[in-house]
Amino acid sequence: MTLSLDHGVELPYAHPSVAEARALAGVLAPRERWSEADLARLTRRFATGATEGLYLTARFDRGERWHLRLALTEDVEVWLLTWTLWQGTEQHDHGGAAGAYTVLHGELTERWTDRRGRSRRTIRPAGSSASFGADRVHSVQNRGTLEAISVHAYSPPRLTAPGLI
């Protein structure tokens, strides 16, 4: 399915739950490089512009993390993920992609090692965002008391399901 948007942007894919996809044309416009800040703005825009549809679309699976691609262009992709209690990832990178995420519901704990070799841990509550460069190796886990929902963006796109987001 191709969804043609205003401003000449074509999404090779936009999930029907993104009811306000036309309003996202400006933030999805092609660009030479998506910065960490651009990706964080994009996840916040999806989180605020399509929240009702995203909540209705989200599913929770205790056996594995559930994910759904929301949008894809040549430059960037956007995913919706859910996290049941204690669900998380192992340490992983993103294959050379920069990324960002916004927590819609619940909270997520991110762990990584900074450039100076120091171990870092941050709890990201609903409404908060994080972004990272292509060199980030991290783990993300739901250690909160509620199920969590988050929106993630990556550039360049991985073009495969996010087995280790």
How far apart are the C-alpha atoms of 64 and 124, rounded to whole Å? 21
Please provide residue 56's backbone torsions phi and psi, each rounded to the nearest 5 degrees.
-70, -30
**Per-residue confidence (pLDDT) for residue 16, from 0 to 100:** 52
Residue linked to tokens 């040549």: 74
How far apart are the C-alpha atoms of 43 and 79, rounded to whole Å? 9
**Which of helix, strand or coil describes residue 56?**
helix
Summarize pLDDT for 72-117 with one digit per residue, the tens.
888 888 899 999 999 999 999 888 899 999 999 999 999 998 888 8
- Yes or no: is domain 3-155 CATH 3.40.50.2020? no
- A 10 A CB-CB count for 28 gives 24
Summarize pLDDT for 24-80 with one digit per residue, the tens.
555 566 666 789 998 999 899 888 765 566 677 788 999 988 998 888 888 888 899
The model's pTM: 0.81
Token pair listed for 158 = 């991985």
Any idea where the domains of the chain sit in the sequence?
3-155
